[in-house]
Amino acid sequence: MKFVNSDLAYIDLNIETPIITFPVLSDIEFVQHGFSTRLGGVSKDMFESMNLGFHCGPYRDEPANVIENFKRVSKSIGINSETIVISKQVHKTNIKLVDQNDCGKGLYRLRDFDEIDGLITNTPNVTLVTKYADCVPIFLVDTKKKAIGLIHSGWRGTVNKIGLIAVEEMQKNFQSNPQNIVAVIGPSICKECFEIGEEVANEFRKAFPFNDGNDILYKKEYDKYECDLWYANQLVLLEAGLLPQNIHISNVCTSCNPDLLFSHRKTQGKRGSLAAFLSIEENI
């Protein structure tokens, strides 16, 4: 499943620091967004070149390289890197409401929060950032209340329905109507590349009892399964009340595109980090 430009996801490889954008979000005038690639940065070796993570397990990138990479991606998106707030992901379902007082945390300033896999805001000029190397990014935009959310959903987040929890937090904090929320399921590992065992498969069966895993899990040999995280998160968002026509799957696989994207599984953990960016433009 090699990435090609489509009406779901687009990349301009002719610019210095390419980013992936999603036309459905580009059409919403008050948001800026993007998803990084591994191109156009300054990091070296296993982090080459647009790495947006300070470390991956025991491996460490030079902090100056990571900061420079963030500046380059920010320029391509059209944001100020000083507005960035970075999540602290631990594969749980905690969502944090952030505002201008949080700008710079995780990049230029120490975070005063932990165990956060989703960020929401309705404050302009605050850029939400979450990081990836196979897990599922979920972009959420309430087109009526002008509120946004950015969610990191690995398999644990998916079975615990972090997408549903994020929508509930948007309802609580912004009075969002789920029917007014547009969602994009961004670049992440596809079902053909995501193999799981019986124990994880049972977690999906418990989380999606009416589906019974039949459309999420594909049985292989030796008690192994292919697992469709994209479809599973689509079901979670439908459960949250989003309209089917407002849920868009980018169909971009991190593992299938090693020259363009980092994949934890493809490299057995020797990789850099991608990132999703989402913000509300000021005075629009």
Could you tell me the residue ranges of all domains in the chain?
Answer: 10-190+245-280
Phi and psi at residue 162, in whole multiples of 5°?
-65, -30
| Count of beta carbons in the 10 Å neighbourhood of residue 280 | 21
Model confidence at 59, pLDDT cuts 50, 70, 90, reads very high
Model confidence at 213, pLDDT cuts 50, 70, 90, reads low
pLDDT at 284 over 70: no
pLDDT at 216 over 70: yes
Please tell me whether the peptide bond between 176 and the residue prior to it is cis, using omega within 30 degrees of 0.
no
**Is 279 in contact with 79 (CB distance < 8 Å)?**
yes
Q: Region 153-177: what's the mean pLDDT? A: 98
Which fold does the domain 10-190+245-280 belong to in CATH?
A: CNF1/YfiH-like putative cysteine hydrolases (3.60.140)
pLDDT at 44 over 60: yes
2 vs 104, higher pLDDT:
104
Q: Which helix (H) or strand (E) holds 155?
A: helix 155-159
Model confidence at 46, pLDDT cuts 50, 70, 90, reads very high
Q: Region 37-58: what's the mean pLDDT? A: 96
pLDDT on residue 15: 95
Q: Across all residues in the chain, what is the average pLDDT? A: 96
* pTM, full prediction: 0.98
**Is 82 in contact with 108 (CB distance < 8 Å)?**
yes
| CA–CA dist 74, 67 (Å, integer) | 11
